[in-house]
Structure 1
């Protein structure tokens, strides 16, 4: 006999290996106070929208390139951080967390087949290869750097003069050595004409498994920059060397 159900159960939302840590939200809010129109070009599952609780009346836009994650939040824009659909200077704030270039970028077929239960990676979470313009498949190196130079130039384009840029980023350990991802992003944004205003280091939990499980960077950085009044973005060539 055919089993009947009253309604179809919705499919579970896909996991995401790098959602904003709740401990960061208060710092985001403090750095964004006074902003009226905020963009997250790497929107993920849409956690940036939570800052509306503390910043009533603010307009928030977020972009996510993978449809499975974009559909989780009804206000998410499915799109590409390298080609944003807004006019120059539309936003007065950017708040975002790019990928860190760590082992969450592993995307070989074995990782995908292993799935989320065994591999905490972007590709394993979605059980597929990622979009070519998703840095979630980029290990720390020149391809990662070239991608983020393009992304930061595009973010700067839609950010108005004197607008703030809030960056959440973290170093990681590779082959026992700390990789200075944070320092590279700072150097790159400074080379694009931004001014560093504030840098906070916030202790956050880390996943304690993998090849470097005993060596973890215990904090994430939240860094506030300001775009110059004069349109001097890309005044210098960002460094791509390690």
Structure 2
């Protein structure tokens, strides 16, 4: 039986984040989610947080700590996209995606690490993407932000690894969410051809991997990049 932990999932109001939060609830953990709007699944505490604002993140963490206790598992999932070709990409398209996806991860991990150091226990899971290492046309900003998470997790592992804290990266491939549902049928079929598993992933495929890598049984895994992509990225 897993030890019940206090879990915070950023961006837990929809898609992959929502599924991750629901899976932790089902496993008997105390779960909070951050959201800019909307709410997390039943059984979760929803707090408002803006990933680009340290004060907003600090306030959200303080609320969770008061209601559920110090955060032991942090899943940094919140992210945005502003896809466009490099030649058309504005400075704001680039910096806003980096500041939310990579900067936001820095802010939440820094805030969570205080309690984890005190407890000498922590699980940090960063949600990256297959395009972080594989690349994606029209996604220079997003790919760079997601690749940055790899160096981030590995540096955190070197700094905090001796204190019972792990930091790992999950790299989802194409997943059936609102974001992929808007792609034209022909494009979806084209993508499926490049995936050895022959299908898109489900949000549950991702949630399973996240909950496992943050479990008691994965305590000796840190600094790893775990692809959950049906074989799409192999070696990337």
The alignment's TM-score, normalised by the length of structure 2, stands at 0.48
More helix by share: 2
The alignment's TM-score, normalised by the length of structure 1, stands at 0.47
Q: Which has the larger radius of gyration?
A: 1
More strand by share: 1
